Each structure stands twice: as C-alpha cells, then as structure tokens.
Structure 1
Amino acid sequence: MRHTPLLKSLTVIMAGLGASATMAAPSSYTPIGTNIGYGDSSNPNSLYSALANPANNDLNVADTEGARYGLGATLQMQAETDGLEGAVDFLDDRIKPLLNSNTAGDAANLQTETNAFLTEYNRGNFSAIGGVTVPLVIKHDALGGGLSFDYTRQMAAKGEIIKKGDVTANYGTDLTIDSGDAALAVHYKELNEFALGYGRTVLRDGKSHLSVGVTARYIDILSNAKAVDFSEIANDNLGNADKDTNDYIDDIDSGSSDSNITADIGVNWTAENYMVGLVGMNLTSPKFDVNDQSTGNANATFGVDDEFELEPQFRVNAQWFSPNREWTLAGSVDLKEANDLNDEATQWWSTTASYATNQAWYIPDVRLGLRGNMAGSSYTYGTFGLTLGFWTLDVASTTTDFSGIADDQEDGGVMFSTGVEFDF
C-alpha cells in the first residue's frame, strides 16, 4: 500500500492555507493607514480621519481657518492565522512516521490520525488582506465644510480546512479517499472602491460645535470561492503524480465582478478639550455575487456561500485633547458584530495615546495603543505609529515573540502600513 498520497494531500491543504499570502495585500473594512496607530477614533491631524468617521471631513477645530488641501497614499498589509497552531508538528510527529508502512494495521492508524488532524484543525484558516488607499481632502470656506475623495484597491484571500465527516482511507493497491468528507476552501476577492465624503458644522455653542458627515461609496468586487474535495487532492497525488496547490487555484483571480453602492454617516460633538462621535458604516448592507469555481457540487457540500454581504457596523468614539491639542487620549468600540473583506467576524475596540504637532517637520508624531477584536479570532494587538514629515509608518501585532509563530506555529496576527501625507 502506498501511503504517500495522503501526506501529499495534507501538505497541499497546508500549502493552500499559506498560499493566500501571495495573493493578498488592506481593506476599507479594517483600519487603514495611520488609523492603525491612532485607533478607530482616528485623529484630526491625519488625512485618514475621514475614513474612520465622515464627520471628520469637517476638519475640526484643530485645523486652521480658510483653505486646506491634503493628498496621501498608503500601502497596507495584514494577515492572521486562526485555529492552526501546531499543525505542521502534527503532520511531522503523528502522520509521517506511518507513511512507510504497508500493513493494514498502520493503514487504519493512518486513517485515525488523519481524521484527528482534520478534526483538530477543522475551520482552521489563514487570511490576508492588503492594498492601497489614496485620499484627497479639500477644505474651503466656499464649501462650508470639507470634501474627501478616496480610491481604494484591495485584494483578500483566505484558505480554510473544512471537515464534514470522517475520512475513509480504503486499504489496497492505492490509497483512495471517499468524497464529501473534507475539503480545502479558498476564498479570493479583489475590491475597487471610489468614495466621496462631505462634512460640515451644523450647530455651534460657544467653543463647541456639532459636525455631521456622509460618505457615498461605490464598490466593485470580484469574489471567487473554490472548495477542493480532499478525495480529489488524494487521487491527483497517487503514485508519482504530484499536483500542488497552485494547480487548483491558478484561476482563482479571474471571473466577473459585481458592484453596489453604500453609505456611511457620522456625527461628532467637539468641545475645547474633547470630542465624541458616532458613525454608521455599510448602512445599505451591500451584497455581491460569489463565483463558484468548484468542481461538481463541492461548494454546496462544504457550505461555501454564493453571496458576500458587507454587514452594517456602528461605532462610538471619543478623544480627549491637552490644552495645546498636541497630546491625545482616544478610544472607540464597535456596537455590533460585522465582517471584513474575508468575511471574518469583526467587532473592534481601540485605545491609544498620541503626540502630534505642526511645529516642525522633524519633530515626529508618535502613537501607541491597543486594539482588540471581540468577535472572530478575539485577538488583541499592540499598536505603534510614527509620522516624520510626510512619511508615516504604523504596525500592529498580537505578539512580540515572532520566533514562536515561526517555530511553534502559534496563531497570531500582524498589520503593517506605510505611506505619505501631504497637507498644504
């Protein structure tokens, strides 16, 4: 009996989970640019503040009177592994030692260990999102407030192990696997988004004022999903045959796209030393068709959706400023569960402390904080950001022990953004 195809099959699945990273690059539905470091309450010093709340288009009292123009660009990537901790060691320690045996007993043990692997790592996944965002901000007295134009180009990918039942490994000349028991599901999306936002002051009371903003967003998404049955992978790797992950997903980035329109609405109350706000996002619950690239009825068998919906989100945020408005303490919390571009559950909270000044370009702006997801992975990230002149850098990570992720296959996540902001 040849056991090698089973290892090849499991290896293909593990490679498929990692292959997502090569296809992915950030999302409008996760923190963008300096908002990683500033938190989801953002900061009036950043051109990306309008992405956190359309009312920030009003470019509040931290800004000078008269005209102001801003242009930026940011490159961002993020990645998470969830439910895969120790998967490689499992393969090496519990499955590989059985592969060179040709007894019926070891074949039964191999089947048992394979099912144990698929059970332990069922729904284990690797997901990544990345891309670019270009904001243009305009404030002029003639507008009565501020305008923002944003273009976002993003890609997202996710690989996931799905187990529906116990795999049956039939003993004989070759190893055969019954279909419908386990699969590798791969999800891929490409997003192009154009957004137009406007915010203005609608009420003043002494040194305090109420700002209201709205952003209209046109979203075009190419969304593909493919479920590859474990039996197909095993059969394709019998004997000397060798079919790797790319052979199954080489067309995952092709197909027709679907478009929709949605809106975000936000309000801010800004006083001399504090600001509180509320924002609602994806208010129309935009839906997009998903192209099924599976063979046979694998998508239906393994429950891969044929529609992707961006769920509405509502967020409360607050900031406290020092008298000179250079020091800021901020926090935010999402009021309900929503989803990101990989359809992973998200419900963020964030808290940050930051220093930002316009005194001189060589004095850096610094931001430090925490952000956590109360849904989905439930990860908590430490965040750090730096702005020097027009250059920005923001990072977030669930750990400082990156050797643990590499050596022990620990679950975790990381976010990274770098870009430029020109304000004149």
Structure 2
Amino acid sequence: MKKLLVISTSLLSTAVMAAMPVNQPIGSSFTLSSAPNQRALATSLNNPAAPFLMVNEQDNDSFRFGILGPLSISAEMGDVSDLDDQIEDLEDILDNGSGATDQAKANAILDEIGNTAYIKTSISLQIPLMPIIYKTKNSGAFMLDASISAIAKGSLLADEVDASLNTETSLYAQTATDLNIGFGYSQAILKNSQGVLVGGVKANLHRISSERALAKLDDSTDVDDAISDGLSDNSVSSTGIGLDLGAIWVAEHYQAGLTLANINEPDFDSATIVANTASNNYGIGSTDSYTMEMQATIDLAVALSNKQVMLGMTYDANSVEDAVGDEYQWAAVSLSYYGDSHFLPGIRAGFRQNLAGSELSYVSGGVTLFKRLNLDLAVSLDTVEDDEGSSSPRSFYVSLGYDTAF
C-alpha cells in the first residue's frame, strides 16, 4: 500500500487538471452578496430583474457592458491537518500489522481520512464585453451574457480493510466545464410614489462537459496515470436550458428581491466509471446524472442617497448541489462605498457562509479603481495546519475584472 504515501500529491494533481463555480457568485458579487448593486456590474448576473437597474438613465445611457473579465479563481481543501501522519500510520499497519486490533485501527484511520481528504479548484471567466445590457426608450432592459467556467475535485474514497489487511480504498476525480450563454429581459412592472417593482426572466443555455475517473490505491496501480487516462476516456457532454425568474422592489433607500433559479431543473449527463466497493460506500454509481436544482434566493439592501453606501444581505432558502455533488446554500452580508470620483477607490467588505456542504465561512474585501477595475479577495476562517504547525485558510477566492461604470 505504498501508494498511500502519494495521496496528497495525487489529490493536488487531480484538482489542478481543470479548474464550474455555477454555485458561487463571480467577480465583486462574491464580496457584495447577491443583492443587486448599480455600481457593480457583476451583481446583474444574480437576479434576472437586476439588469434594469444597471443603466444610468440620468446620463442618457442605453448600454452598459463588461470589458474584460471578471476572471475568478478559487480553491478549497478538506481539513487535512493530520493527513501525512495518518497516512504513515496506515501504511505501517498495512505493511507490518496483523490481527483484528490492527484491522480496527486501519479502518478508523481510513474512515477519518475519507471524510476529510479532498481538494477542489474552480475557475470562471466572462467572455470579453459580456454581459451586454441594452435599455430601450420604453425602459425595458435586454441582457446578453456568456461565460465559461470549470471545476475539478479529487477526493479519497475509503473502504474497510479486511482481515487480510486488504482494501479497495480509491482516489476519485471529477471535472466539469460549463459554456453558458444567457439571454434575459427585465422591466418595471409597477411604479408609484414609494418605489418601483421590477420583474425579470432569463434563459441560460448550458453546454456541460463532465469527466470522472476512479483508481484503486494499491502497489500495482499508477494512480496519476490511471486518473489521467480515466478522465480522458470517460467524458460526456450534454446541453440544457435553465430558466430563472426574478423580482426587485426598489425604493429610495432600500430594495428587496427574490430570485428563483433553474425553475425547470434541467438534467445533464455524467461520465461512466467502473464502480467498486469504495465508490459504492459513498453512493457513487457507475452511471450518474447532474440536475440543476431550483434554488430560491432572497436579497435585501439598505442604501444612502444615490446608492453610494450600501448594506447588502442575501439568503438562499434551500441548498443545491453543484456538478461534482457538493452542496451550496449561501448566506452573506456586505458593506460597500462607491464614490463618483475616478480617482478615489470604491471599497467593500463582506462575510458569507455556506450553510450546507462544507459549511465554510469567508471574510472578503475588494476595491474598485478608476470606477472600472475590480479586485476582490476572500479567505475562509477555517484553517488547516501543515507538518511544521503553520496554519493556512482551507479555501480562498480571488477575482479581477474591468467593466464600464454606472
């Protein structure tokens, strides 16, 4: 079982082969929450009603569009602080142990490793100039959006050690890429002296390519080659359309919105693998499919005059799974300032937590330079320790983009 000594390396090499954060906000909206902010174009991608708010009619503008990006990158790992020590103890037992006591010790170690050992990376990029928003003279807003994103995850699937100290513990790799083209329309539905109710609808065409591979960890298997070959040989692509609905009530100093994403819950194919005992333990079958489940999101924002200072909050009412089976249910709050000067930076800070799945929480911050250049960074509050005792965040997120100003 000397392949266990390269679990950490195998997980990392698997996770960087491709990098679909369809369940993560992109750009400055990771910091700002999903509450639409007129001064942050990335927030127009969350609620289908939001594009209506993104064009500055006071300056007689009709268009607003992205220029480059945002390019968003994130990475996440399990709580693998003791992974190296656990692997060494396990290898010693499997190479030199015998009897029921050693079998029980090995299974205890494998059970703990199997619940924590994973690495996940993701990357997302808006196609240049996207999104493009055009607001007509009768105040309807059309939006065209296009992006490509990807996700990759490597995880250890633990299997019980038998009386002969053999096990089918395996490395499991998943990748998925999503080419997404969206078309939306939003307009004012109701206006009165108190505010305006905006409604929106958006159709998202997804072309998802999925790859999966499973490799048993034993002395006869080159894990890296087996995973690489498996991902190449087990790839499938499928197309589906997700429909989103949204509404926002906008008053002078506050706004409240509701988004229903993927109300039709489109299905996508997943690649086929040869399952074994380890994968069966985790409910991973030879064939699988991915459903974009419907998710309801509530957003609320309180703002000072001209939306320069805004407190934004977002809450997902239910959890959904991404293309590699991880659950997401975000709750977020943010505070931002955007001035009218090209020379004073806009600043923002936020906190968000995944209420499902990893349950990681993040602190985030961002700046906007020259009213157009956006840089955001987030780190998880949960940390992991290395062999020297130094700690580092279990997850980070970084985004850079350049777009037109409000």
Answer whether TM exceeds 0.5 for this pair.
yes
Q: Give the Cα separation in 1 of the matches to 2:193 and 2:388.
A: 56
CA drift of 1:168 comes to 4.6
Normalising by structure 2, we get a TM-score of: 0.88
Q: Is the 8 A contact 2:20 2:149 kept in 1?
A: yes
Match of 1:115 in 2: 107
Normalising by structure 1, we get a TM-score of: 0.84
Match of 1:381 in 2: 362
Match of 1:75 in 2: 71
Match of 1:215 in 2: 202
Q: Give the Cα separation in 1 of the matches to 2:405 and 2:356.
A: 36
Which stretch shows the higher mean deviation, 326-335 or 154-163? 154-163
Q: Is the 8 A contact 1:228 1:294 kept in 2?
A: no
Q: Is the 8 A contact 2:75 2:119 kept in 1?
A: yes
Q: Give the Cα separation in 2 of the matches to 1:214 and 1:398.
A: 33
* Residue among 354, 374, 379 paired with 1:397: 379
CA drift of 1:142 comes to 3.6
The reply to whether residue 196 of structure 1 matches residue 183 of structure 2 is yes
* Residue among 133, 139, 153 paired with 2:134: 139
The reply to whether residue 293 of structure 1 matches residue 258 of structure 2 is no
Match of 2:147 in 1: 152
Q: Give the Cα separation in 1 of the matches to 2:268 and 2:388.
A: 36
Match of 1:3 in 2: none
Q: 1:377 and 1:178, CA in 2 relative to 1: closer, same or farther beyond 3 A?
A: closer
Supply the AA of the counterpart residue of 2:175.
Answer: Y
Q: Give the Cα separation in 2 of the matches to 1:235 and 1:265.
A: 53
Q: Give the Cα separation in 2 of the matches to 1:406 and 1:19.
A: 22
Gap regions ≥5 residues in structure 2: none
Match of 2:227 in 1: 248
Q: Is the 8 A contact 2:48 2:199 kept in 1?
A: yes
Supply the AA of the counterpart residue of 1:200.
Answer: Q
The reply to whether residue 363 of structure 1 matches residue 325 of structure 2 is no
Number of residue equivalences: 397
Supply the AA of the counterpart residue of 1:130.
Answer: I
Q: 1:110 and 1:297, CA in 2 relative to 1: closer, same or farther beyond 3 A?
A: closer
CA drift of 1:163 comes to 2.6
The reply to whether residue 86 of structure 1 matches residue 82 of structure 2 is yes
Q: How does 1:321-336 map to 2 (within 5 A)?
A: 321-336=303-318
Q: Give the Cα separation in 1 of the matches to 2:289 and 2:20.
A: 21
Q: Is the 8 A contact 1:83 1:121 kept in 2?
A: no
Supply the AA of the counterpart residue of 1:78.
Answer: S
Gap regions ≥5 residues in structure 1: 1-5, 171-176, 238-242
Q: Which has the larger radius of gyration?
A: 1
Q: Give the Cα separation in 1 of the matches to 2:251 and 2:280.
A: 54
Q: Is the 8 A contact 1:198 1:213 kept in 2?
A: yes
Which stretch shows the higher mean deviation, 371-380 or 132-141? 132-141
Q: Is the 8 A contact 1:292 1:299 kept in 2?
A: no
CA drift of 1:250 comes to 3.6
The reply to whether residue 269 of structure 1 matches residue 249 of structure 2 is yes
Per-residue CA distance 1:134-171 (angstroms, 9 max, x = gap):
3222233346322221112111111222234334545x
Q: 1:98 and 1:140, CA in 2 relative to 1: closer, same or farther beyond 3 A?
A: closer
Q: Give the Cα separation in 1 of the matches to 2:40 and 2:232.
A: 33
Q: 1:120 and 1:331, CA in 2 relative to 1: closer, same or farther beyond 3 A?
A: same
Q: Is the 8 A contact 2:183 2:202 kept in 1?
A: yes
Supply the AA of the counterpart residue of 1:236.
Answer: S
Q: Is the 8 A contact 1:71 1:421 kept in 2?
A: yes
Q: 1:341 and 1:178, CA in 2 relative to 1: closer, same or farther beyond 3 A?
A: closer
- Secondary structure of the equivalent of 1:265? strand
CA drift of 1:109 comes to 7.1
% identical aligned pairs: 24
Which stretch shows the higher mean deviation, 109-118 or 17-26? 109-118
Which stretch shows the higher mean deviation, 188-197 or 406-415? 406-415
Q: Give the Cα separation in 2 of the matches to 1:404 and 1:122.
A: 18
Match of 1:174 in 2: none
The reply to whether residue 234 of structure 1 matches residue 213 of structure 2 is no
Supply the AA of the counterpart residue of 1:146.
Answer: A
